[in-house]
Amino acid sequence: MKILLAHCDFAPASLALLNLKSYASADPVLKERLQTRIVGGTPHDDPEHTIASIVTAAKEMQPDVIGFSIYIWSRFRLYEASRQVRMLFPNVPIIWGGPDVSDEAYAQELLAEHPSVDIIVRDEGERTFAHLCHHFLGTGKPLSDITGISFRDRATGSLQGTPNVQYLDNLDDIPSLLDLPEVEAMIDQIPVFALETFRGCYMGCAYCYWGGTTRRSFSMERVFSDLGRILSHKNIKKIWFFDSMFGYKKAVAKELLRFIVANKAPDQSVTFFPNLDFLDEELCSLMKQAGVYIEAGIQTTNEDAYEYLNRKWDKKFLDSKIPLLKKYGLHANAQQLILGLPGDHIEGFRSSVDYAFHTKPEAIQIFPFSVLPATGYWKRRAEFQVKYEGQYRIVYHSTTFPEDDMVIGGLIMVGTKWYERYPGMAQQLVSLLKIRPSYLFERMGRIFMKEVWQLEDTPSSRPLVRKRLLCQAFEVEDVNRLDLELLRAALNREVEDPALRAAADELLRLQSYLNCDELLDARILPEERITAAMQDWSRHPARSPVLEASFNAFDTGSVESLADLSRRIQFVAHPVQTPKDFFGKDLTRYRIIILGEPHHPSRFRDLIGSHAQ
C-alpha cells in the first residue's frame, strides 16, 4: 500500500511524519507492505510552490492513502493542497493530523467545513496511524473502533468521533529516526537536527498545547545513543532538544550535559527550552560549559494574567531564578513575553517588558497571543470575548485587552525587534534618558510605522495598522530596516536638551562596543588584573586603538546628572569569543578596559602608555 505523507515545517524534516513511519516500520506486516513517501516544503516557500510539489508527488506516486501534518503555520496551504489532491483522487482516503487539528470539537468543525478530509487523527499519532494503515490494508479494525480519530462515515456522510487515544507507555517503542533512509540521506548535509526526548509537560499553561499530554520520556540509553550519533556528524552545528521538562530529573539532565561537554565539537551548540523551575547552580554551570542557548519563557509578570494562565510561577519566583542565569553568564538568553493574554492589560504588559529589559537579555521576544486549538484558552475563548484573525489566529481583542491597547502593544513589540539588534545601545539609552524601556520601544515603533511603513494610526486605518503590527510579527525583512539612522531621527525629534542629545550621539558612535561582554575598570580593579588584561589586548589581532568617550558610556549607572556627561574616559577594546544567537549565528561582543580619565590620569598611566604604543 502506497502512502504519501505531506508537511510544511520550519525544520527540514518533519519529526512527526518520521515518527509515524518509524513506529509503523516496527510492525512486521506494515514493514513488509507499506511504501511511504514524505513530501514537504517550508513556510518560507511560496504557498503555491508547496502545494504544487505535493500535487506533483501525488501524481507521480498514485498513492492509496494521503496524510497531511498540520500546524498553525502550515494550515492554510495544506488545506488547499488537500483540496487539490481530493479533486485529482476523489476516492483516496485523506487523513489530517497534528496539533492544529487535535481539539475534539474543532475536529468535527473541520470535517464539516472541509470535504477534502476524511479522517482527523487527534493528538499523539503513532499508534493511531499504525491502526489506520492496518484498517486500509484490510488487516485491522473498523474506524469506529480506532481510538483518537474523528471521521466522516463514507456510507452515511455522518461525522463521528472515537474516544481519545491511549498514549504510548514506552517511547522507545518508536525505533530511532536515525535509522530511517530519509534521515540517512540528509544527515550529512544539514546544519541543524532535533531530538525529541520527552512528551508532555506538568505545567499545562492555558495557551500551550505541549502541556496537553501525559508525561513520558525516551530512555537515557536511547537518548545517549542518538545524541552520540548526531554529534558525530560534524556538519551538524546545532542540536535542538524538545523537552519541556529539561532538568526535572536533575541527575539525568546533568549526566546529559556532561556527555555533551565531552562529545561536542567546539562549533556545535545545543538549544534547550529549560524549565526555570528546575535550575540550580550546577545545572547552570554545566549549561554554560555545554554552550546552551537559554530561552526564558516568562510570558508575563502580571498577577492578574497569572490567574488564568494556569502557571505555577509568579514574579517572586522569577526574581529568584533569573539571577542564577546571569551568574553563570548564560548570555544569549531570550526573554519571551506574550502580548494580549486574558487578564493582562496594557500597563501590566508594559511592566512585563520593563522587567524583561532589566534582566539584560540578548533579546526580548514578544509573541502576540495566538489562541491555539485544544488549549485552555481555546476552551474559554467565548468567556474572554476573544476576537482573532489570520492563519495564526492572532488575538486583537479580549475583555482586558481592547484593540486600542493591543495596537500600543504591537508598537512596543516593534521596539523590541530593534532591541534585538542593538541590546547594548538600548540599555545605555534607557539609562541615559531615564525613560521606561517600554516607552522607548513604543516610540521606536511609532517612528518605524511612520517612516518605513508610511502608516498613520487613525480610526479608518486601524484594522490595517493592527494587522501589520500583530500579524507582520512573523516576517523578518522589516527588522533589518530598524537601523541606527531611524534611531538618530527618533532621538533628534524626542530629545531636546543639547547635552543629552550629544550624549546620545556618543552612544551611537560607540554602539558596537556597547554590547560588551566584560567591563574592566582600571580605576577600581587591582593592578595585576589590569596588567594581564592589557597584555591580552596588546596581543589581540583585532584590538582597538586607545579610544576616547565623552562619558562612561559603558556603565548604565555612571550618569546621574548632566555634569557627568563631560567626564571623558579613555578605553581600549578587543572582541571576545562570542555567544551564538538562537539560529547559531555569532554575536560580536567586546571586552572593554577603561583606562582612566585623560584629565585626571589614573595610577595606571605608565602602564597605559607602554601598551598603547
Residues in the site for ligand B12, rule: CB under 6 A?
A: 9-11, 15-16, 19-20, 67-69, 71-73, 95, 97-100, 121, 124-126, 129, 196, 208-210, 242, 367, 370, 372-373, 474
Binding partner of residue 201 among ligand B12, ligand SF4, none, CB under 5 to 8 Å per kind? ligand SF4
Q: Say how many residues touch ligand SF4, by CB under 6 A.
A: 9
Residue 165 CB burial class (10 angstroms; 0-12, 13-18, ≥19): buried
**What ranges in 10-46 are assigned the alpha helix state H?**
15-25, 28-33
In the numeric block, which cell numbers belong to residue 140? 485491522
CB of residue 505 vs ligand B12: minimum separation in angstroms?
36
CB of residue 82 vs ligand B12: minimum separation in angstroms?
11
Does 244 bind ligand SF4 (CB under 6 A)? Our answer is yes
Binding partner of residue 71 among ligand B12, ligand SF4, none, CB under 5 to 8 Å per kind? ligand B12
Q: Cα separation of 598 and 571, whole Å? A: 10
Q: Which residues contact 515 (CB under 8 A, 6 or more apart)?
A: 422, 423, 424, 425, 587, 588, 589, 590
Judge whether 65 and 5 are in contact, CB under 8 Å: no
Cβ-based nearer residue to ligand B12, 13 or 283: 13
CB of residue 210 vs ligand SF4: minimum separation in angstroms?
4
Binding partner of residue 514 among ligand B12, ligand SF4, none, CB under 5 to 8 Å per kind? none
Q: Cα separation of 303 and 307, whole Å? A: 7
Q: Cα separation of 27 and 30, whole Å? A: 5
Q: Cα separation of 246 and 119, whole Å? A: 34
Cβ-based nearer residue to ligand B12, 70 or 330: 70
Binding partner of residue 291 among ligand B12, ligand SF4, none, CB under 5 to 8 Å per kind? none
Judge whether 98 and 73 are in contact, CB under 8 Å: no
CB of residue 549 vs ligand B12: minimum separation in angstroms?
38
Q: Cα separation of 244 and 201, whole Å? A: 6
Q: What is the CA radius of gyration of the chain?
A: 27
CB of residue 243 vs ligand SF4: minimum separation in angstroms?
9
Binding partner of residue 67 among ligand B12, ligand SF4, none, CB under 5 to 8 Å per kind? ligand B12
In the numeric block, which cell numbers belong to residue 588? 560580536
Q: What is the DSSP string of 191-208?
A: SEEEEE-EE--SS--TT-
CB of residue 319 vs ligand B12: minimum separation in angstroms?
25
Binding partner of residue 125 among ligand SF4, ligand B12, none, CB under 5 to 8 Å per kind? ligand B12
User: By CB under 6 A, what part of segment 277-306 binds ligand SF4?
Assistant: 297
Cβ-based nearer residue to ligand B12, 72 or 324: 72
Cell 578605553, residue located: 571
Binding partner of residue 19 among ligand SF4, ligand B12, none, CB under 5 to 8 Å per kind? ligand B12
Closest CA to 25 of 133, 120, 123: 133
Type of residue at 433: L
Q: Cα separation of 100 and 68, whole Å? A: 11
Task: Break the chain down into helix, strand, coil percent, rounded to 5.
Answer: 45, 20, 35
Cβ-based nearer residue to ligand SF4, 42 or 213: 213
Binding partner of residue 369 among ligand B12, ligand SF4, none, CB under 5 to 8 Å per kind? none
Cβ-based nearer residue to ligand B12, 9 or 517: 9
Q: Which residues contact 485 (CB under 8 A, 6 or more apart)?
A: none
How far CA 202 is from CA of 111, 172, 211, 222, 271, in Å, comes to 31, 21, 6, 22, 20
Beta strand residue intervals within 78-209, DSSP E: 94-97, 119-121, 149-152, 159-161, 192-196, 198-199
Binding partner of residue 72 among ligand B12, ligand SF4, none, CB under 5 to 8 Å per kind? ligand B12
Rounded to 10°, the helix 462-471/403-421 angle is: 40
CB of residue 160 vs ligand SF4: minimum separation in angstroms?
30
Judge whether 397 and 353 are in contact, CB under 8 Å: no
The helix (H) or strand (E) run that includes residue 106 is helix 104-113
CB of residue 370 vs ligand B12: minimum separation in angstroms?
6
Cβ-based nearer residue to ligand B12, 54 or 425: 54
Q: Cα separation of 458 and 237, whole Å? A: 47
Cβ-based nearer residue to ligand SF4, 297 or 415: 297
Binding partner of residue 204 among ligand SF4, ligand B12, none, CB under 5 to 8 Å per kind? ligand SF4
Judge whether 368 and 473 are in contact, CB under 8 Å: yes
CB of residue 565 vs ligand B12: minimum separation in angstroms?
41
Cβ-based nearer residue to ligand SF4, 15 or 137: 15
CB of residue 31 vs ligand SF4: minimum separation in angstroms?
33
Measured at CB, which residue is nearest to ligand SF4? 211
Q: Cα separation of 433 and 445, whole Å? A: 17
Cβ-based nearer residue to ligand SF4, 205 or 426: 205
Judge whether 140 and 131 are in contact, CB under 8 Å: yes
Cβ-based nearer residue to ligand SF4, 247 or 445: 247
Cβ-based nearer residue to ligand SF4, 368 or 423: 368
Cβ-based nearer residue to ligand SF4, 243 or 457: 243
CB of residue 469 vs ligand B12: minimum separation in angstroms?
15
Closest CA to 351 of 411, 301, 311: 301
User: By CB under 6 A, what part of segment 179-218 binds ligand SF4?
Assistant: 201, 203-205, 208, 210-211
Cell 470535504, residue located: 115
Residue 535, Cβ neighbours under 10 Å: how many?
Answer: 11
Does 429 bind ligand SF4 (CB under 6 A)? Our answer is no
Cβ-based nearer residue to ligand SF4, 247 or 410: 247
Binding partner of residue 10 among ligand SF4, ligand B12, none, CB under 5 to 8 Å per kind? ligand B12
Cβ-based nearer residue to ligand B12, 200 or 575: 200
CB of residue 229 vs ligand B12: minimum separation in angstroms?
18
Binding partner of residue 226 among ligand SF4, ligand B12, none, CB under 5 to 8 Å per kind? none
Task: HSE, CB side, 13 Å, CA atoms: give it for residue 197.
Answer: 30
Does 246 bind ligand SF4 (CB under 6 A)? Our answer is no
CB of residue 98 vs ligand SF4: minimum separation in angstroms?
17
Q: Which residues are near ligand SF4 by CB under 6 A? A: 201, 203-205, 208, 210-211, 244, 297
